[in-house]
Structure 1
Amino acid sequence: MFFIKEIQSLFMPEVKIRPQELFDAERFFEIISHTNLEFMEFPIKTLEEERDFLQLNEAKRRANFEHNYSILYYGKLVGACGIRIDQHRPWIGEIGYFIDRDYQGRGIATEAVKQLEKIGFEKLDLQRIVILIDTRNRASERVAQKCGYQKECVMRKIHRVGEDYYDCFLYAKTR
């Protein structure tokens, strides 16, 4: 068994997640400025807004509202992920993530979701984790499937990008 894990680790990308820090702001702003985030509503328009967002992370974590992480690929910050806790059903969390366009397609999001899921189930004591995926976003759908999430339904016009509303697949996994 140990040998199999050693072989697998040779082919797995080195991905780690860690709590976001204020010093991540410039890199995050760089990523969101040059990555096509067509499937996301992204309110950050300036570096200062990114810093303001990051400064709220500790309060969000303490309130068990949102737990945000930086995604590192071989030590380089390449994206972000997080779990937002349903405030009416605190045993349910929703995962979200984005990856720098220059690093997409390398299995980074899949590995980050697996690590985030472990935090959700083991540390945050969640019973259910969901991922809402714009129906046009096939790459994110593959991430959910690779991580063992099950498609439960299509949610009509639940997702807003700009002034337009889109359908999403609801993928979920329970503990």
Structure 2
Amino acid sequence: MGNEFPVIETERLILREVTTEDAKDLFIYLSDQEVVKHMGLEPYQTIEGTGAEIKWYQSIYEEGTGIRWGITLKDSGRVIGSCGFLNRHPKHFRTEIGFELSKDYWGKGIAGETLEAVVEYGFQHFQLERIEALIEPENLASQRLVEKQGFIREGLLRHYEYTCGKFDDLYMYSILKEDLHKTDT
């Protein structure tokens, strides 16, 4: 990955690097049980705690295993969520995508606008063939979101992750580069 963190602009949003200055904004949504319940995280209790999340964003970018953009509205610049790639395997041309959004912005099409831009960017700039989304069966909103973007559910991964003291089943979704514009017709 290049040294310069890429910025993605959409109709309403600027997707940019998250910095320690954004910790307070991240805390607003990462301390919300409803936002984090499908992320395998306990809600953050302190603003300092969100610093660990920001450090993780920085480390995956530096290691080349992923990239996480802060979602900001053009008119405010405040981070209201994040989206990006993790567990990137350049050798296999695949990665996972993850996202979360502050509850105040649910149902406004922001997650869809973000996901579309990030998927497109990934296929264009990271030589990806496949992007995966691992989603808990109870997380119907995220399933609908990725299906709308053209992701296909491939199956259920039983007890795939151990988070917050329990084993989680996850649906495996994927979109291939060749699927990208099939949904446009």
**TM-score class normalised by the smaller sequence:** 0.7 to 0.9
Question: Structure 1-normalised TM-score?
Answer: 0.83
- What amino acid is aligned across from residue 25 of structure 2 in structure 1? R
Task: Map Cα deviations across residues 96-143 of structure 1 (whole Å, 9 max, x no partner).
Answer: 111111111111111111111122111111111000010000000011
Task: Map Cα deviations across residues 118-172 of structure 1 (whole Å, 9 max, x no partner).
Answer: 2211111111100001000000001101111111111111133411222111110
Which stretches in structure 1 are left out of the alignment for 5+ residues?
Answer: 1-11
Provide the aligned C-alpha RMSD in A: 2.2
Alpha-carbon offset, residue 79 of structure 1? 0.6
Alpha-carbon offset, residue 80 of structure 1? 0.8
The within-5 A match list for 1:39-118 is 39-42=38-41, 44-74=44-74, 75=76, 76-87=78-89, 89-118=91-120
Secondary structure of 1:54's aligned partner: helix
Alpha-carbon offset, residue 59 of structure 1? 4.0
Alpha-carbon distance in 1 for matches of 2:107, 2:22: 22
Which stretches in structure 2 are left out of the alignment for 5+ residues?
Answer: 1-9, 178-185
Alpha-carbon distance in 2 for matches of 1:164, 1:57: 25
2:23 is the alignment partner of 1:25? yes
Secondary structure of 1:86's aligned partner: strand
Percent identity (aligned): 24
Aligned residue for 2:37?
A: 38
Alpha-carbon offset, residue 55 of structure 1? 3.7
Structure of higher RCO (CA pairs closer than 8 Å, 6+ residues apart):
1
Alpha-carbon distance in 2 for matches of 1:117, 1:50: 25
More divergent stretch after superposition (130-139 vs 46-55): 46-55
Question: Structure 2-normalised TM-score?
Answer: 0.78
